[in-house]
């Protein structure tokens, strides 16, 4: 018997001082049975960091569909403008995403990020449109501790650090740029 997704609801209040975006969003997320709270909360953080790109930013089927990223934004013709991936994808997946989207972001997390980055950095050196951000394991675990079925999150972004607070506590997430726009 297949397990069903768990539904999470989030009231997300974003104050992104780096991009001058301020807004609130009511979100419903389906948490795949194999998905951790850490990954769920990183999806929410990625949404908060990219919501200023436009109102068409959306969560995808994610883990349920290997052909889709975790979030994307499509234009009115269906072309992919933003492709946002979580985890440690292989170089083929990142290069394929760069061929499909105008801009690609990878949010790498977990204890093996340095090993993964060392193995893929040279292979994606010429990939245009790709940015890679690392989230420290301590920060992503602190974020996971804020997860609830119904949550209200306040995300404030300043100088490359996201400060997330809820009734369960606070988390500070410094976004380490492994590959930025200048590296393309």
Does residue 118 sit within a domain? yes
Q: Is 4 a member of any domain?
A: no
CATH number at residue 39: 3.10.640.10
| pLDDT at residue 5, rounded to an integer | 80
Assigned domain for 91 exists: yes
Q: pLDDT confidence of 2, banded at 50, 70, 90?
A: low
Instruction: Supply the pLDDT for residue 66.
Output: 73
Query: Quick one: pLDDT at residue 55?
Result: 74
In a domain, 173, yes or no: yes
pLDDT at 128: 85
Find how far residue 150's CA is from the centre of its chain: 20
Please indicate, yes or no, if residue 164 is contained in any of the structural domains: no
Burial class (CB in 10 A: 0-12, 13-18, 19+), 157: buried
Residue-wise pLDDT tens digits, 59-112: 887 666 678 899 999 999 999 999 999 999 999 999 999 999 999 999 999 999
Domain presence at residue 41: yes
89 belongs to a structural domain: yes
Domain count, the chain: 1
Spatial distance between the Cα atoms of 19 and 60, rounded to a whole number of angstroms: 24
| Position 152 pLDDT exceeds 90 | yes
Residue 1 has a pLDDT of: 44
Domain that holds residue 90: 34-149+169-183
pLDDT, residue 73, reads: 93
21-31, strands of its sheet edge to edge: 21-31, 6-16, 150-158, 161-166, 169-179, 130-135, 101-109, 80-86, 71-74, 57-59
pTM over 0.75: yes
* Mean local confidence (pLDDT), 24-37: 90
pLDDT value at 134 more than 60: yes
Q: Residue 7: inside a domain, yes or no?
A: no
């Amino acid at each position: 018997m297949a397990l069903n997704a768990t539904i999470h609801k989030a009231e997300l209040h974003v104050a992104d001082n780096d991009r001058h975006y301020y807004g609130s969003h009511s979100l419903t997320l389906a948490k795949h049975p194999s998905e951790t709270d850490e990954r769920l909360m990183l999806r929410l953080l990625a949404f908060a960091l990219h919501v200023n790109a436009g109102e068409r930013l959306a969560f995808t089927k994610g883990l349920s569909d290997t052909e889709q990223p975790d979030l994307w934004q499509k234009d009115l013709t269906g072309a992919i403008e933003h492709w946002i991936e979580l985890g440690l994808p292989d170089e083929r997946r990142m290069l394929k995403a760069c061929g499909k989207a105008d801009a690609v972001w990878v949010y790498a997390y977990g204890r093996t990020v340095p090993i993964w980055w060392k193995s893929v950095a040279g292979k994606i050196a010429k990939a245009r449109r790709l940015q890679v951000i690392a989230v420290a394991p301590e920060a992503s675990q602190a974020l996971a501790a804020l997860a609830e079925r119904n949550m209200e999150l306040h995300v404030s972004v300043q100088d490359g650090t996201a400060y997330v607070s809820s009734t369960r506590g606070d988390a500070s997430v410094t976004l380490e740029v492994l590959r930025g726009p200048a590296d393309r």
